[in-house]
């Protein structure tokens, strides 16, 4: 029927599968993000490091280049190398999350559109998953996916058996990145659900990342303890990464931006528990705000 | 034959923080278009939100088109189009893109969702502004856009929560006309929640009146209107009204005499009003005024509000 024929007609066509309707949200979100020139440039620029790293790995295995540039004394492709790569990329991913994360939920809450999402055969969990998948996909493309490609490149250039001998690095890249991606995504969505003004929500993310660590340090100084470090995200992530990349006997103190604090080492289990605690707080915040109708008690 | 109920309330109770907001409601609503009436805070929006699954019943349940809201919440929402009372839009999105996304979330494939979003926008009279960002729409346009998103996916049941809120008279008339058109198409059941009696009277054939979380009245407006046609008020002058009343009762009328020659009567089936004039002439009584007493929705509403706790 031509659209200008102003009559209503019932819909009698087929419906899409219920399980994949949450994918509608990232599809629309990516269309919006693509329109931002700044974001596009930033995202493309974020692949500079993986490109440089790939070139470095190649040069490291090129005899002529090694001889010419004396690279063997400068570069060591090991767990620390990949951890530093992940640290740098994860920080860029955090900037990305702080930039686009608040724009995912807050526009829906600002003008009450959330009730329309949830008035459809669409659950709150699917809504959060749909919104989160935007961040998960973009941050994955920046962190563990190029990380694993570099790992495969290194394995390809090294003698046979290198990959199986260094499988812990691959696992560290994958799981270490996911720990950070999940936490940063949850934090971005939770803060944007509570702070409807996008710039404030983005700023608050940086506040949680750095100021909470400073607050923990203050607790340590006043109380003479080390447990305040449980509030420091760089320390928590660094501790978990070192364990994932280097096992029981670490030789480094983490990657760029995500280092163990030298003022006191806290057990790995406590770091995991703290990260779980942060995640649960974020989920609680989302659970309170992502509702079809606000209840006035 | 009895119609299948659109909504069955089966002891439905909702509590917020221990405070009962809906109090064990029991009713079976069968109309094509049902009005939900009640003063502010009566529980109208809460009832709609509960049927949509936004609030979990603390006791009892409800069925929408035969599906239990406790066990089939997702399927229930698949049947409903919802136009909320408050603002509901994404300011930066164009109207047609927003409605398309909502239709896709309701399960329509992207191509069909786009086509129906365009159709819905033309239908509600926003065809020319469908590519403008929703944040730039006037209040009336936002209300129409909300209606467009509610009907785009072709629901079986339409929830309209205060659809004329904030509209100027022409916009209100247009909105009422749209609702009447949708009702008259016969494909969709309507639930219209409003505190404006006129909206409900113009759009609904049944009305459920809520007061303080209770059902204060549930009536069929069509039947009420038909019954009202037989109820007359006369103002008379002339000789003894007693004889006139007796003559009317002989015709089968039920009568009641008021002060100053006023008479209320119910006409029996088959009796025409002109026969009253003939009787009046025989009795030398002048009928100065004759009104069909219209027991309007306002009367029904006021009677329902008079009960102390809202229970009938």
C-alpha to C-alpha distance for A273 and A31, rounded to whole angstroms: 37
Highest mean pLDDT among A51-55, A227-231, A245-249, A289-293: A51-55
Using a CB-CB cut-off of 8 Å, the residues of chain A touching B104 are 16, 21, 24
Q: Is the pLDDT of residue B11 over 50?
A: yes
CA distance A10 to chain B (A): 5
Query: pLDDT tens, B154-167?
Result: 999 999 999 998 88
Q: How far, in whole angstroms, is CA A118 from its chain's centroid?
A: 26
Query: pLDDT tens, A255-265?
Result: 778 877 776 78
- Each domain of chain B, given as residue ranges in start order, spans 7-221, 229-292
Q: Is the pLDDT of residue A72 over 70?
A: no
Q: What integer pLDDT is reported at residue A297 of this predicted model?
A: 58
Highest mean pLDDT among A83-87, A157-161, A217-221: A83-87
Mean pLDDT of A42-48: 95
Mean pLDDT of A154-164: 92
Using a CB-CB cut-off of 8 Å, the residues of chain B touching A10 are 154, 187-188
The fraction of chain A above a pLDDT of 90, given in percent, is: 57
**C-alpha distances in Å from residue B15, one per residue of A295, A297, B303:** 10, 9, 27
Q: Is the pLDDT of residue A71 over 70?
A: no
Which chain B residue is nearest to residue A6, measuring alpha carbons? Answer: B123
The DSSP code for B121 is H
**C-alpha distances in Å from residue B151, one per residue of A182, B163, B167:** 37, 13, 20
Q: What integer pLDDT is reported at residue B1 of this predicted model?
A: 44
Q: Is the pLDDT of residue A249 over 60?
A: yes
Q: Is 3.90.580.10 the CATH number for B229-292? A: no
Q: pTM of the predicted model, to two decimals?
A: 0.84
Mean pLDDT of B59-71: 95
Q: What integer pLDDT is reported at residue B242 of this predicted model?
A: 74
Using a CB-CB cut-off of 8 Å, the residues of chain A touching B54 are 115, 118, 291-293
Mutate: best of B22, B58, B103, B106, partner A, most A CBs <10 A: B106
Closest by alpha carbon to B210, among B85, B42, B16, B46?
A: B42
Q: Which two tokens stand for residue A148?
A: 């694993």
C-alpha to C-alpha distance for B226 and B206, rounded to whole angstroms: 13
Using a CB-CB cut-off of 8 Å, the residues of chain B touching A115 are 54, 82, 84, 86, 88
Q: Which CATH superfamily is B7-221 part of?
A: P-loop containing nucleotide triphosphate hydrolases (3.40.50.300)
Highest mean pLDDT among A202-206, A214-218, B34-38, B261-265: B34-38
Asked whether A61 and A152 are in contact (CB, 8 A), the reply is no
Between B107, B154, B187, which is nearest A121 by CB?
B107
The fraction of chain A above a pLDDT of 70, given in percent, is: 95
CA distance B56 to chain A (A): 12
Q: Is the pLDDT of residue B197 over 80?
A: yes
Cβ pairs A/B, distance under 8 A:
129
Which region holds residue A221: left if phi is over 0, alpha if psi is between -120 and 50, else beta? alpha
CA distance A65 to chain B (A): 53
SS3 B161: strand
Which residues does A161 contact at the CB level (< 8 Å), separation at least 6? none
Query: pLDDT tens, A206-247?
Result: 888 888 888 888 888 888 888 888 888 989 999 999 999 988
Exposed (0-12), middle (13-18) or buried (19+): which is B187, by Cβ within 10 Å? middle
What ipTM was reported for this prediction?
Answer: 0.86
Q: Which two tokens stand for residue A296?
A: 């006035």
Q: Report the alpha-carbon angle A84-A89-A92, nearest 5.
A: 135
Query: pLDDT tens, A105-129?
Result: 988 998 889 999 999 999 999 999 9
Q: What integer pLDDT is reported at residue A290 of this predicted model?
A: 93
Q: Is the pLDDT of residue A56 over 60?
A: yes
Q: Is the pLDDT of residue B312 over 50?
A: no
Q: Are strands B206-211 and B214-220 parallel, antiparallel or unpaired?
A: antiparallel
Closest by alpha carbon to A94, among A42, A152, A28?
A: A42
CA distance A288 to chain B (A): 13
Asked whether A120 and B54 are in contact (CB, 8 A), the reply is no
Mean pLDDT of B108-131: 93
Q: Do B19 and A297 touch (CB under 8 A)?
A: yes
């Amino acid at each position: 029927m031509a659209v200008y024929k102003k009559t209503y007609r019932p819909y009698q066509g087929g419906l899409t599968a219920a399980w994949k309707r949450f994918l509608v949200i990232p599809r629309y979100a990516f269309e919006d993000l693509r329109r931002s020139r700044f974001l596009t440039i930033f995202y493309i620029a974020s692949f500079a490091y993986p490109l440089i790293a790939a070139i470095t790995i190649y040069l490291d295995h090129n005899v002529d280049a090694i001889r010419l540039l004396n690279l063997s004394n400068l570069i060591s492709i090991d767990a620390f190398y990949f951890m530093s790569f992940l640290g740098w990329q994860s920080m860029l991913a955090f900037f990305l999350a702080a930039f686009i994360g608040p724009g995912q939920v807050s526009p829906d809450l600002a003008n009450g559109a959330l009730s329309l999402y949830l008035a459809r055969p669409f659950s709150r969990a699917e809504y959060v998953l749909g919104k989160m998948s935007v961040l998960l996909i973009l941050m994955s493309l920046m962190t563990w996916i190029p990380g694993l490609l570099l790992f495969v490149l290194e394995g390809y250039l090294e003698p046979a058996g290198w990959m199986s001998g260094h499988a812990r690095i691959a696992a560290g890249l994958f799981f270490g990145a996911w720990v950070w991606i999940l936490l940063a995504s949850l934090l971005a969505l939770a803060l944007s659900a509570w702070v409807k003004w996008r710039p404030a929500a983005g700023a608050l993310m940086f506040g949680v990342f750095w100021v909470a660590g400073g607050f923990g340090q203050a607790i340590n100084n006043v109380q003479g303890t080390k447990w305040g470090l449980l509030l420091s995200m760089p320390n928590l992530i660094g501790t978990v990464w070192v364990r994932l990349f280097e096992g029981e006997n670490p030789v480094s103190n983490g990657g760029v931006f995500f280092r163990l604090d030298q003022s006191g080492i806290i057990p790995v289990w406590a770091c995991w528990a703290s990260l779980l605690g942060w995640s649960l707080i974020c989920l609680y915040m989302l659970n309170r705000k992502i509702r079809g109708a606000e209840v006035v008690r | 034959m009895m119609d299948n109920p659109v909504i069955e309330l089966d002891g439905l109770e909702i509590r917020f923080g221990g405070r009962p907001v809906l109090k064990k409601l029991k009713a079976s609503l069968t109309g094509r278009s049902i009005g939900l009436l009640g003063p502010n805070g009566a529980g109208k929006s809460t009832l709609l939100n509960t049927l949509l699954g936004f609030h979990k019943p603390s006791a009892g349940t409800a069925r929408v088109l035969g599906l239990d809201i406790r066990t089939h919440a997702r399927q229930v929402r698949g049947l409903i189009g919802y136009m909320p009372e408050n603002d509901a839009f994404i300011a930066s999105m164009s109207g047609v893109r927003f409605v398309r996304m909502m239709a896709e979330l309701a399960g329509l494939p992207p191509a069909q969702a786009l086509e129906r979003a365009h159709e819905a926008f033309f239908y509600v009279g926003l065809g020319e502004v469908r590519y403008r960002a929703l944040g730039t729409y006037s209040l009336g346009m936002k209300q129409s856009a909300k209606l467009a998103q509610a009907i785009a996916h072709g629901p079986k049941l339409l929830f309209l929560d205060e659809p004329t809120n904030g509209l100027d008279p022409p916009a209100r008339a247009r909105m009422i006309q749209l609702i009447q058109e949708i009702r008259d198409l016969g494909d969709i059941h309507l639930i219209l929640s409003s505190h404006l009696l006129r909206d409900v009277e113009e759009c609904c054939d049944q009305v459920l009146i809520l007061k303080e979380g209770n059902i204060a009245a549930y009536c069929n407006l069509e039947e009420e209107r038909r019954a009202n046609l037989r109820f007359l008020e006369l103002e008379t002058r002339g000789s003894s009204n007693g004889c006139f009343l007796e003559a009317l009762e002989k015709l089968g009328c039920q009568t009641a005499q008021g002060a100053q020659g006023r008479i209320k009567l119910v006409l029996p089936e088959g009796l025409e009003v002109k026969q009253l004039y003939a009787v009046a002439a025989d009795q030398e009584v002048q009928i100065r005024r004759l009104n069909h007493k219209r027991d309007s929705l306002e009367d029904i509403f006021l009677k329902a509000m008079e009960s102390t706790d809202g229970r009938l």
